[in-house]
């Protein structure tokens, strides 16, 4: 990779590494990122942006660096939140918070954007403006939606939105980028089946959810596409039962209640809506046939992440200029990312940046973001800004 990033030095990246490790020690879950946001704001103030916006969509933070000249407005986004996973990595800066960690690398994503804050603080864009967005609550799918629905976001008016997510399994420093779908839409569905308990010696006097649960689990699984179906198939669907619970761990009572959780995945938002309709229709039919009441809830809702061809083309131009190997790879992913909400008002592109083929997978308890990826990601962002400025 060519060194086209002269405005930041080895000292800068050493300081950004320590800043990243401080974030790593103090992970906060979705919607709880108060300390993380304060750490971000303190860093941003040192770079003297034209405006800092706080508490956008929760604990979200945005910094605007404006050229004062007409031009496109570009948003670069990272995430604030960690995960409810114990950090077991053998590192001196392991999480200080029991049961919480940064095993998705959001600390590293923030460090990449912090590098851009330093760069933009020293040199504003030639035209237009750059918005650095530190988004809350990505892990549960609620943060991006709340940010774009926040009245303040309408004032930012980005024309383009870009984001990098690190990805183990991809060679270090390579990028995966496509036009169209990058990640599946997904939704967690929670079913509560309510009947009536009975003495275990007279189960026929109660209304048991047993038969309903026994039928729903395999029929939900049967809604999935056949094993081996590519996620690029527009009809791709996956239903994964993640939790089932019935009755109590006793021997004298026949169960009267049950809970069943499942994650639904589809390549498109329309496909997700159709899959939800199928799940609800089956659940209602089965519970009615068994004399049960049904309550349905949803959580962790993600829309599909769909790259705009214009934005993806800008990314490819930038990567070619700095000599980064790129291609479609295994995209689209079955997993989900809430960055897709930014595509509803801007031309967006999400890219996957290889963090190495031997690194533990994301969400593994021993995952740690590789610090050497900070200058790689920030150089890519800088090249993207230059590519946008070169348009017309």
Percent of the chain with pLDDT over 70: 98
**pLDDT tens digits, residue range 64-101?**
999 999 999 999 999 999 999 999 999 999 999 999 99
* Six-digit token string for 54: 């706080």
Q: Is residue 345 one of the residues assigned to a domain? A: yes
Query: What is the pLDDT, as a whole number, of residue 138?
Result: 98
Residue 41 backbone dihedrals phi, psi, to 5 degrees: -60, -45
Query: What is the pLDDT, as a whole number, of residue 2?
Result: 46
Q: pTM of the entire structure? A: 0.94
Do 360 and 244 lie in one domain? The reply is no
Q: Is residue 82 one of the residues assigned to a domain? A: yes
Do 47 and 120 lie in one domain? The reply is yes
Tally of structural domains, the chain: 2
Separation CA 38–CA 44 (nearest Å) = 10
Do 25 and 173 lie in one domain? The reply is yes
Q: Is residue 39 one of the residues assigned to a domain? A: yes
Do 51 and 117 lie in one domain? The reply is yes
Q: Is residue 142 one of the residues assigned to a domain? A: yes
Q: Is residue 1 one of the residues assigned to a domain? A: no
Last residue of a domain, one of 244, 272, 302: 302
Please say whether the beta carbons of 223 and 237 come within 8 A: yes
Report residue 84 CA to chain centroid gap: 15
Do 335 and 369 lie in one domain? The reply is yes
Do 97 and 236 lie in one domain? The reply is no
Do 209 and 142 lie in one domain? The reply is no
**pLDDT tens digits, residue range 136-172?**
999 999 999 999 999 999 999 999 999 999 999 999 9
Query: What is the pLDDT, as a whole number, of residue 228?
Result: 87
Do 334 and 270 lie in one domain? The reply is no
The answer on pLDDT for 59 being more than 70 is: yes
Last residue of a domain, one of 287, 302, 317: 302
Last residue of a domain, one of 276, 302, 328: 302
Do 215 and 344 lie in one domain? The reply is no
Q: Is residue 378 one of the residues assigned to a domain? A: yes
Q: Is residue 327 one of the residues assigned to a domain? A: yes
**pLDDT tens digits, residue range 306-315?**
999 999 999 9
The CATH number of whichever domain residue 258 belongs to comes to: 3.30.70.360
**pLDDT tens digits, residue range 300-339?**
999 999 999 999 999 999 999 999 999 999 899 999 999 9
Q: Which residues contact 367 (CB under 8 A, 6 or more apart)?
A: 89, 101, 103, 104, 105, 168, 359, 360, 361
State the burial class of residue 300 (Cβ atoms within 10 Å of its Cβ: 0-12, 13-18, 19+).
middle
Do 21 and 136 lie in one domain? The reply is yes
The answer on pLDDT for 3 being more than 70 is: no
Do 27 and 161 lie in one domain? The reply is yes
Name the pLDDT band for 1 (thresholds 50, 70, 90): very low
Query: What is the pLDDT, as a whole number, of residue 7?
Result: 79
Q: Which residues contact 333 (CB under 8 A, 6 or more apart)?
A: 182, 183, 184, 231, 352
Please say whether the beta carbons of 76 and 119 come within 8 A: no
Average pLDDT over residues 258-272: 97
The answer on pLDDT for 29 being more than 80 is: yes
The CATH number of whichever domain residue 311 belongs to comes to: 3.40.630.10
Mean pLDDT of the chain: 96
Do 31 and 144 lie in one domain? The reply is yes
Query: What is the pLDDT, as a whole number, of residue 6?
Result: 55
More confident residue, 229 or 263: 263
142: closest CA among 306, 334, 299?
299
Domain of residue 319: give its range: 10-180+305-389
The answer on pLDDT for 262 being more than 60 is: yes
Q: Is residue 4 one of the residues assigned to a domain? A: no
């Amino acid at each position: 990779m060519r060194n086209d990033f002269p405005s930041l030095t080895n000292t800068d990246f050493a300081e950004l590494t320590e800043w990243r490790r401080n974030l790593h020690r103090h992970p906060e879950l979705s919607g709880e990122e108060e300390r993380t946001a304060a750490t971000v704001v303190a860093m941003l103030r040192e770079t003297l942006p034209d405006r800092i916006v706080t508490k956008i969509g929760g604990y979200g933070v945005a910094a605007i660096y404006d050229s004062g000249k007409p031009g496109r407005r570009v948003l670069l986004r990272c995430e604030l939140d960690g995960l409810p996973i114990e950090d077991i990595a053998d590192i001196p800066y392991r999480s200080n918070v029991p049961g919480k960690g940064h095993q998705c690398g959001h600390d590293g994503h923030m460090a990449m954007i912090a590098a851009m804050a330093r760069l933009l603080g020293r040199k504003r864009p030639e035209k237009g403006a750059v918005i650095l967005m530190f988004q809350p609550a990505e892990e549960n799918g609620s943060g991006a939606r709340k940010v774009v629905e926040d009245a303040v976001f309408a004032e930012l008016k980005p024309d383009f939105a870009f984001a990098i997510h690190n990805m183990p399994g991809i060679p270090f420093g390579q990028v995966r980028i496509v036009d169209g779908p990058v990640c599946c839409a997904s939704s967690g569905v929670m079913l509560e089946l309510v009947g009536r308990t009975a003495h275990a010696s007279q189960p026929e006097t109660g209304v048991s959810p047993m038969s309903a649960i026994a039928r729903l689990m395999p029929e939900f699984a049967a809604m999935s596409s056949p094993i081996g179906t590519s996620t690029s198939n527009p009809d791709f669907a996956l239903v994964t039962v993640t939790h089932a619970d019935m009755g109590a761990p006793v021997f004298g009572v026949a169960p009267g209640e049950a809970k069943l959780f499942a994650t639904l995945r589809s390549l498109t938002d329309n496909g997700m809506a159709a899959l939800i309709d199928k799940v609800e229709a089956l659940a209602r039919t089965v519970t009615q046939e068994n004399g049960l009441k049904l309550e349905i809830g949803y959580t962790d809702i993600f829309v599909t992440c769909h790259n705009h061809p214009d934005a993806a083309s800008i990314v490819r131009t930038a990567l070619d200029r700095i000599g980064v190997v790129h291609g479609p790879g295994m995209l689209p992913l079955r997993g989900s990312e809430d960055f897709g909400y930014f595509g509803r008002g801007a031309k967006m592109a999400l890219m996957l940046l290889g963090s190495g083929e031997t690194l533990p997978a994301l969400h593994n308890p021993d995952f740690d973001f590789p610090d050497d990826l900070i200058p790689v990601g920030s150089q890519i962002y800088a090249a993207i800004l230059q590519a946008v400025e070169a348009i017309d």
